[in-house]
Structure 1
């Protein structure tokens, strides 16, 4: 080797040594001014100062507890700094308390970071960013200023409001911004800058918003995909919620725990008891700008101290069919009682979260319009109160949700589940009823062929019957059982304990299960446990005769009680029929007519020949009243009056609506109006059918009645129509529906 080459190698080694010591220092993690250090961990360099150079290939640098109070131009000027794509600047709590971190980002301070894509600044002391600080970082895509509590929004806007600065910005995080002062103002300029930069994700969570211009947001939201306004507190806003403009790309809004002015959510309207209230809400006119939003979180938006109780309110939502909202979070709102009939034609909800809402009562009609719903979370409520109030209604909770795959009723204080609560949910895969007071698994799941997991952890289950665990085996269901009071002290638990010990799906997911033996001690379930229970079962059986006699006596008592109950039911039915007939005889306005006969004028001949007189005469004979008991439009509508007015008037005066359902009826506008108004008035409807009908022309409600309700049918014999049942039976059935 030449002397010159040796000299060069010697100098190069010294250079590497100096560079290593100068850049990385010792492996200490100290942050004092006397000890500058850098640590490499998982391809991330963490330093407590700004090194002059960094190793080749470095992509991520984290600067923690740097003591410079002003970052000026030239600190990131060496070649290797140009290769980094992510830079984080933060400080520990002790340095923040001493106000000994970066306060000012000076002009061109980031100049040289040509490839930087992510910049995260979390410094409470920072109060100034120069208007040209971000020049030179044209590839920046994510700017995170969360935690800059002293930084003014106007200062941030001045730094990015330039067409040549951060032109590729996609994500902007301003959480906690200026929270040490009076808060921020989101005016037209702010949203114009967001629009000009084509920001896709905006996070302004945990801020105090002194003023919000709603119109400016809606007019400049075209590029936004995700908006986070959780935990904000909005003092005042102005503008129109209803400009006919879409936030075309907006997919998610997180407004959880946000505090809005009272005029946005007037809670006082719902706190008081409201009854028989009809609300029609046009979504297109009020919320068009969120048409494409898929996920909306309004969790915890109502004041914590407000208990919202809704009594007998009907809400009809228009225009929902054009919206794409699939995920709705409403958890942690104190709804208490939701006695609500909510009708949303075309509803697109697929996941609804109502966890932690303190719900004591939830009417099934409040969620029955969510026909596409796959997930519903009702955990951490108090639905045990509804079970006690109306068990049968609770059993119908999920009746209309045929696409439901996941349901959570955890932590509701439930002592049992209705047997048929999941009767209509054939796609159900996951049931969570953990953290309740359930003592037995009583609901029927035999038909749920897609069911994979049932979570009953932390309940009070002692034994599961053989039919149930046979069903679990057949369906290959994973049953989660930890935290239950499983018993192994009685013979009736033998089959259950054997199943727990030997079922593959159980042993995999319930390792370490324990049961309580005859000595009230908790023991692990093993083969020895099974032997002990078998010994209990093998003990001599005593007093067999007494037991048999007891059983026979019990059977006799049950038979007697059954007969008594049957007689009582018959007497009750007779009394109810007499009461209804008496009510009709009194001729109150709402019962002036027993039947409102609805049919198409094209079927006049059939009605006059086969229906009207026969029906009216049999009703008169059944009730004992000579007056006309069947209302017919052509006979009773006043001449010259508006048809809708007359229809409404006589529908209200009629107890039951009988419809001659034909293709002519389905195609008639007036007939459909009569049908729809009868549905609105919740009148009992009886269908009468004489010929084949094209069911494809029916609307949903008419088709539902046609397919699921018994009908009056006619058969044709020798060109004459004859009812398949007697008119006496028809009239009796109609009277049963009066005021039912």
Structure 2
């Protein structure tokens, strides 16, 4: 829980321009043994020892490491300035162990078995600036006061007193002021107290340290319950020169910690699994972790590092007050939701944020809203695929100063185009190790972009707009633009021809897995590196050119055939509809008629517009049905209820001897009327008999008549409604005769 900042790792670093605190020599990290062996020893004052001797301008360097010595060699050269005694078998240091070595500057006693250290044994070494007694686990931390007794007489700058307290032999440690008081009046700048089983700190114990102290490391102890506000209780505010305090690995097993310390105390292990199943909370904005505020820290704090700290759940509101923070690292935790917001007052000095390896699946819209100064953002090793897929407000909209972003190993299969819409200054983008099949983002607003890492994705090529913008950037940076595409299923089909041409003609440097192969259109394989050969590229281009001709030819032929098919289908559309409904009628039990008028259910089917219904119902029915005994089919009277209209029309035409078409301007404006006319014509063609009887109710200009009606006009097979009432009897007789 972040309520107590229960740190397995919590490092507060206050960086200054002189963070690399020089002691005047490179020996703080130990001399290079190979260099010692390769150096002529003839210039040393005294060499009758098993040690390696190197003479330097400021004194001799005696390397007596790894010789299984049980005591400090006697008669060492008096001008010895650097004495390396690590990895031997010392068990004690006496008051006379270093008598006569007044020029000693650098002393390394690490990795021995020292259990006894005489009080003040080093107090006479006034030039001593560096002491390392790390990995003497039988000494016990409480005897550190013996080691440092009289240190005010020395020039001590760096003291490494780590792993002095084995948990197998001694209980946990409580650090009191007396343990550190011998350091108060010294010039000490760096103090390492790692792995000493420190569990408790006396109130204001840090005030016993010298005001010159710039770096304090207490990694690998048992301070797991340390709360961030406790640092003020222990007197951290008294250390005015302090630039970095390292309280790392407070929750680690001692054996594992030693191994980590021996190999690489900063080793980072990626624990992200791209194949893991993502499980999300229903309410993404819920965060049960309490807020954190550093308003009372009146220090020149510029770095906060909480790496591998065991922090879990989520990030709530983090307020860093008036601190001039430049760097935040809370990577390798289990902070699965970032709600925020992060706040840093008005200084806007924060430039680097590392939230990698946190298994995060959700970023709140307000998380980065109050900070615009971030330049480097490392989010690799999370699960941000879902939160960056949403077509919502960009999570990074306020981060307008970003120039480096790492989104690798996040399970991304798509990145929304709006994710980087405000990153005009972006220079380096790493989205490797995801599941991207294409790069969909726009980079036209990123003139400074010069490095894209797309390796270990599923990308086959780059879109044209990406290649074009990268070319423009390469011209701007004189070719210093690169794209990493290793371990992608890059294809070399004709579809990717322009992509391959671009790769080997552009100023942009493209990195590929050249020992891998890709497939041609003909399924042949070729090593990607072969495309650097102009002959291979020409062969590839020629092959694709012939394919283009073939594809164009096939396309044209296909298009022509499709056009012919469309024309035929259009010309036969009414016949096809007719045959389709005939087929359906037969499936329902319809039996084709033999053509005799006595086989039909109706004498005529009347096709008319709704406006002409009065003529049909009051005059035609009266005459033909009442007086002449004909049986007519009218759609509103005789169509089957529940049947489709088109099906009823076909059935009526089939079951009628004739179809009377009552022609008028309204008839030609009705789609259903025209449909009935077309189906009646198809019936004529299909049954090879006269079906349509054209009754011209109102004259229509011939230019407005469709071809089907004009055909009836040309063959004179139509009946006109007479203008005079005297001719009506003749009209009805002719109509009755035409449907008989």
- Select which of 441, 460, 463 maps to 2:461: 463
Q: Which has the higher contact order (CA 8 A, sep 6+)?
A: 2
Provide the C-alpha distance between the structure 1 equivalents of 2:35 and 2:465, rounded to a whole number of angstroms. Answer: 65
State the shift of 1:409 in Å.
0.6
Aligned residue number for residue 555 of structure 2: 544
- Select which of 475, 480, 487 maps to 2:473: 475
Q: Deviations over 1:164-198 (max 9, x none)?
A: 443x2121222222134334332222343343324
Matched, 1:334 2:305: no
Q: Is the 8 A contact 1:375 1:407 kept in 2?
A: yes
Q: Which TM-score applies when normalising by structure 1?
A: 0.58
Q: Is the 8 A contact 1:255 1:296 kept in 2?
A: no
* Aligned pairs for 1:165-180 within 5 A: 165-166=153-154, 168-180=155-167
Q: Is the 8 A contact 2:53 2:63 kept in 1?
A: no
Q: Is the 8 A contact 2:145 2:180 kept in 1?
A: no
Q: Is the 8 A contact 1:214 1:241 kept in 2?
A: no
- Select which of 508, 511, 514 maps to 1:512: 514
Provide the C-alpha distance between the structure 2 equivalents of 1:214 and 1:292, rounded to a whole number of angstroms. Answer: 22
Matched, 1:255 2:262: no
* Partner secondary structure for residue 245 of structure 2: strand
- Select which of 97, 102, 105 maps to 2:93: 105
- Select which of 441, 445, 466 maps to 2:443: 445
Aligned residue number for residue 626 of structure 2: none
Structure 1 residues 157 and 49, CA gap change in structure 2 (3 angstroms):
farther
Name the stretch that deviates more: 474-483 or 39-48. 39-48
Provide the C-alpha distance between the structure 2 equivalents of 1:383 and 1:332, rounded to a whole number of angstroms. Answer: 15
CA RMSD, 1 decimal = 3.8
Q: Is the 8 A contact 1:105 1:128 kept in 2?
A: yes
Matched, 1:79 2:78: yes
- Select which of 81, 88, 96 maps to 2:84: 88
Q: Is the 8 A contact 1:372 1:403 kept in 2?
A: yes
Provide the C-alpha distance between the structure 2 equivalents of 1:517 and 1:416, rounded to a whole number of angstroms. Answer: 25
Provide the C-alpha distance between the structure 2 equivalents of 1:457 and 1:90, rounded to a whole number of angstroms. Answer: 44
State the shift of 1:513 in Å.
6.7
Structure 1: stretches of 5+ with no match in the other structure: 1-36, 261-270, 553-740
Q: Deviations over 1:663-712 (max 9, x none)?
A: xxxxxxxxxxxxxxxxxxxxxxxxxxxxxxxxxxxxxxxxxxxxxxxxxx
Structure 1 residues 465 and 43, CA gap change in structure 2 (3 angstroms):
farther
Q: Is the 8 A contact 1:56 1:80 kept in 2?
A: no
Structure 1 residues 292 and 195, CA gap change in structure 2 (3 angstroms):
farther
* Partner secondary structure for residue 196 of structure 1: coil
Q: Is the 8 A contact 2:372 2:400 kept in 1?
A: yes
Q: Is the 8 A contact 1:63 1:88 kept in 2?
A: yes
Provide the C-alpha distance between the structure 2 equivalents of 1:546 and 1:145, rounded to a whole number of angstroms. Answer: 87
Matched, 1:224 2:224: no
Aligned residue number for residue 374 of structure 1: 375
Provide the C-alpha distance between the structure 2 equivalents of 1:240 and 1:214, rounded to a whole number of angstroms. Answer: 9
Aligned residue number for residue 490 of structure 2: 486
Q: Is the 8 A contact 2:288 2:314 kept in 1?
A: no
Structure 1 residues 408 and 189, CA gap change in structure 2 (3 angstroms):
same
Q: Is the 8 A contact 1:252 1:294 kept in 2?
A: no
State the shift of 1:410 in Å.
0.9
Q: Is the 8 A contact 1:47 1:62 kept in 2?
A: no
Matched, 1:160 2:148: yes
Name the stretch that deviates more: 44-53 or 528-537. 44-53
Q: Is the 8 A contact 2:321 2:343 kept in 1?
A: no
Aligned residue number for residue 352 of structure 2: 351
Q: Which TM-score applies when normalising by structure 2?
A: 0.58
Structure 2: stretches of 5+ with no match in the other structure: 1-33, 253-280, 475-480, 564-740
* Aligned pairs for 1:275-314 within 5 A: 275=286, 281-285=292-296, 287-288=297-298, 291-302=299-310, 307-309=312-314
Q: Is the 8 A contact 2:63 2:84 kept in 1?
A: yes
State the shift of 1:493 in Å.
0.6
Q: Deviations over 1:405-443 (max 9, x none)?
A: 111111111113222322212222211111111122222
* Aligned pairs for 1:692-703 within 5 A: none
Q: Is the 8 A contact 2:119 2:147 kept in 1?
A: yes
Q: Is the 8 A contact 1:226 1:250 kept in 2?
A: yes
Matched, 1:135 2:127: no
* Partner secondary structure for residue 340 of structure 1: coil
Provide the C-alpha distance between the structure 2 equivalents of 1:461 and 1:226, rounded to a whole number of angstroms. Answer: 47
* Partner secondary structure for residue 385 of structure 1: coil
* Partner secondary structure for residue 493 of structure 1: helix
Provide the C-alpha distance between the structure 2 equivalents of 1:39 and 1:65, rounded to a whole number of angstroms. Answer: 14
Provide the C-alpha distance between the structure 2 equivalents of 1:71 and 1:251, rounded to a whole number of angstroms. Answer: 36
Matched, 1:200 2:189: yes
Name the stretch that deviates more: 520-529 or 200-209. 520-529
* Partner secondary structure for residue 458 of structure 1: coil
Structure 1 residues 111 and 473, CA gap change in structure 2 (3 angstroms):
farther
Judging by fraction of residues, say which structure has more helix.
Answer: 1
Q: Is the 8 A contact 2:342 2:370 kept in 1?
A: yes
* Aligned pairs for 1:405-416 within 5 A: 405-416=403-414
Q: Is the 8 A contact 1:112 1:137 kept in 2?
A: no
Provide the C-alpha distance between the structure 1 equivalents of 2:121 and 2:134, rounded to a whole number of angstroms. Answer: 17
Q: Deviations over 1:13-33 (max 9, x none)?
A: xxxxxxxxxxxxxxxxxxxxx
State the shift of 1:449 in Å.
2.1
State the shift of 1:205 in Å.
2.6
Structure 1 residues 417 and 222, CA gap change in structure 2 (3 angstroms):
farther
Aligned residue number for residue 498 of structure 1: 501
Provide the C-alpha distance between the structure 2 equivalents of 1:550 and 1:259, rounded to a whole number of angstroms. Answer: 76
Structure 1 residues 254 and 452, CA gap change in structure 2 (3 angstroms):
farther
State the shift of 1:299 in Å.
0.6
Aligned residue number for residue 41 of structure 1: 38
Structure 1 residues 63 and 360, CA gap change in structure 2 (3 angstroms):
same
* Partner secondary structure for residue 405 of structure 2: strand
Provide the C-alpha distance between the structure 2 equivalents of 1:387 and 1:155, rounded to a whole number of angstroms. Answer: 55
State the shift of 1:335 in Å.
0.9
* Partner secondary structure for residue 304 of structure 2: strand
Provide the C-alpha distance between the structure 1 equivalents of 2:482 and 2:52, rounded to a whole number of angstroms. Answer: 58
Number of residue pairs matched by the alignment: 478
* Partner secondary structure for residue 483 of structure 2: strand
Provide the C-alpha distance between the structure 2 equivalents of 1:163 and 1:147, rounded to a whole number of angstroms. Answer: 21
